[in-house]
Amino acid sequence: MTRRPTGTGWPDEAKRPAPAPSPAPARAGAPAASARRNRFSSAGVFIALLLGLLGFTLVVQLKSNSEETGLASARQEDLVRILADLEAREQRLRQEISGLEDSQRQLTSGVEGRQAALEEASRRADELGVLAGTLPAQGPGLTVRFEEGDQKLKAAALLDAVQELRGAGAEAMQISGTGGDPVRIVASTYFLDTEGGITVDGERLTGPYTIDVIGEPRTMETALKIPGGVVESVGNDNGTVIVQERDVVEVSARAAPTNLQYARPAS
């Protein structure tokens, strides 16, 4: 009799059943793929930021170039007016130089020097009185009228006009409005926005406003009408600037003289 083996052993290893398959191990490549996706996402965000920064830089550069080339895009008639303004300024400065040279020769001409010095001092006193606003003045110039549109005219617009006129050689100015007395415009004059009008050196004025100015009319008119100047700026706010040339402009308002506390003539 053949004995059957006891226990769990098998007489023939070839007949042993195959072991049950073990659970599949976790994929080692999954975390790596996730990390690569995270890296790709971070790189995409970084690239997008760089492209946005590059686009912003290009926009700023183009805007800067367009502002710097304002004269290059100006119309021919505007360039002609600007050139005429510069030539007029040059001629005026040359005349002033010539006048000062003549005064120097008279003051150093010996016996007549004393009389020439007195006349020059009197002339300079009158000129300084006009510039300081303590003396009235008259001469050729412009009347510049500012009419408001649907927006209130700002004090800054009048200040810009005064600065443009000064730069174009204005020698004496006064401003008037519907209400209040005319105000002489001098170096210390201030403009302040107030309810329903503008305050000039403490005097409240209401529109329309008129600036009477003495100087070379064509040069001052050109300065007001240059591209981007006062006339265009007020027009953009639906206002109107009317510039009229006058053979004789009266500037009668006077500025109050300054009382000096500490300064006195040097001996």
pLDDT tens digits for 173-219?
A: 999 998 778 999 998 899 999 988 899 998 999 989 999 999 999 99
**Lowest-confidence segment of 39-48, 145-154, 223-232 by average pLDDT:** 39-48
Nearest to 173 by CA among 224, 210, 199: 210
Position 1: which residue type?
M
> What's residue 237's pLDDT?
84
Is residue 43 domain-resident?
A: no
Q: What Å distances lie between residue 136 and 156, 190, 252, CA to CA? A: 26, 20, 5
Is residue 180 domain-resident?
A: yes
Is residue 197 domain-resident?
A: yes
Is residue 132 domain-resident?
A: no
Q: How many domains, in total, are found in the chain?
A: 1
CA distance 210 to 177: 6
Question: Chain-wide mean pLDDT for the chain?
Answer: 78
CA distance 183 to 197: 14
**Res 2 pLDDT > 50:** no
**Res 6 pLDDT > 60:** no
CATH code where residue 193 lies: 3.30.70.1880
Is residue 169 domain-resident?
A: yes
CA distance 41 to 18: 47
The pair of structure tokens assigned to 59 is 């926009």
Residue range(s) defining the domain that contains residue 190: 79-98+138-251
CA distance 238 to 53: 38
Q: Say what the pTM is.
A: 0.57
> What's residue 7's pLDDT?
47
Is residue 267 domain-resident?
A: no
Is residue 193 domain-resident?
A: yes
Is residue 19 domain-resident?
A: no
Residue 160: how many other CB atoms lie within 10 Å: 17
